[in-house]
């Protein structure tokens, strides 16, 4: 596990639940050190000079979406950040089974990773179904705060895209308000179907199919000005 530290309030809960399966535990020892993002400032292009774009998935869960996108776009380098060790282990399994060479992982808080990235180095960012922290007293723990919006604006190139998805109505409203308040992002949605219907390139995960929230999934796609 990465030993990052930062002044921000923790936006995630536990970092481990059930015991990690032996095969995945072995990958944590053998594969993770090879695909872990550098722990000092770095340019992601240096990790994959032939990549046409660099994407970031924040909180990739079990890694299904990230792995599927990486398989679909082998020309893209995908950075994935996830503090939950079981999720990291699951992602490593997907990478190993599919032979994915275009994924790099950060097993910790994404804000530490973003701080190491140069400006305008990303073309896409995914934040899919993050912890909603539904109780009002916990809203300060939600990931998508104004500070993170600013950080994402710094690392996204002009024309880059940010996708936020949630199945909690209040979190959708919360996130939309913060992104609309930013001078760095445009929301091109023109009708309800633009956020109610999954985007054509979206990949549904098992978590999404469980419908644990209080509304149908909402997809908010923004463009960096």
Is the CB of residue 104 less than 8 Å from the CB of residue 42? Answer: no
Write the CA distances from 221 to 72, 146, 210, 225, integer angstroms. 20, 17, 22, 13
Q: Which of 134, 114, 106, 105 is nearest to 215 (CA)?
A: 134
Is the CB of residue 122 less than 8 Å from the CB of residue 157? Answer: yes
Write the CA distances from 143 to 9, 53, 128, 158, 194, integer angstroms. 9, 25, 11, 23, 23
Write the CA distances from 57 to 103, 130, 221, integer angstroms. 10, 11, 14
Residues 43, 96, 109, 131: which is the catalytic one? Answer: 131
Q: Which of 215, 58, 216, 63 is nearest to 130 (CA)?
A: 58
- Known catalytic residue: 43? no
Query: Could you give the CA distance from residue 201 to residue 206 in angstroms, rounded to a whole number?
Result: 17
Whole-angstrom Cα Rg for the chain:
17
Q: Are strands 122-128 and 185-186 parallel, antiparallel or unpaired?
A: unpaired
Catalytic positions: 131
């Amino acid at each position: 596990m990465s030993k990052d530290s930062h002044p921000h309030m923790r936006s995630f809960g536990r970092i481990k639940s059930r015991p990690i399966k032996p095969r995945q535990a072995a990958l944590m020892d053998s594969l993770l050190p090879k695909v872990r993002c550098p722990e000092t400032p770095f340019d992601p292009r240096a990790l994959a000079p032939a990549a046409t774009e660099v994407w970031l998935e924040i909180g990739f869960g079990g890694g299904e979406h990230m792995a599927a996108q990486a398989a679909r776009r082998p020309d893209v380098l995908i950075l994935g950040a996830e503090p939950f060790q079981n999720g990291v282990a699951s992602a490593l399994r997907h990478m190993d089974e599919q032979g994915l060479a275009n994924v790099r992982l950060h097993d910790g808080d994404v804000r530490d990773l973003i701080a190491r990235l140069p400006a305008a180095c990303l073309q896409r960012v995914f934040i899919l179904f993050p912890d909603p922290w539904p109780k009002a007293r916990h809203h300060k723990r939600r990931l998508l705060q104004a500070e993170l919006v600013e950080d994402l604006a710094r690392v996204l190139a002009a024309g880059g895209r940010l996708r936020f998805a949630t199945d909690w109505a209040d979190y959708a409203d919360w996130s939309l308000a913060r992104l609309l308040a930013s001078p760095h992002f445009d929301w091109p949605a023109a009708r309800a179907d633009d956020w109610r219907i999954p985007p054509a390139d979206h990949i549904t995960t098992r978590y999404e199919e469980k419908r644990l929230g209080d509304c149908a999934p909402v997809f908010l796609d923004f463009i960096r000005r």
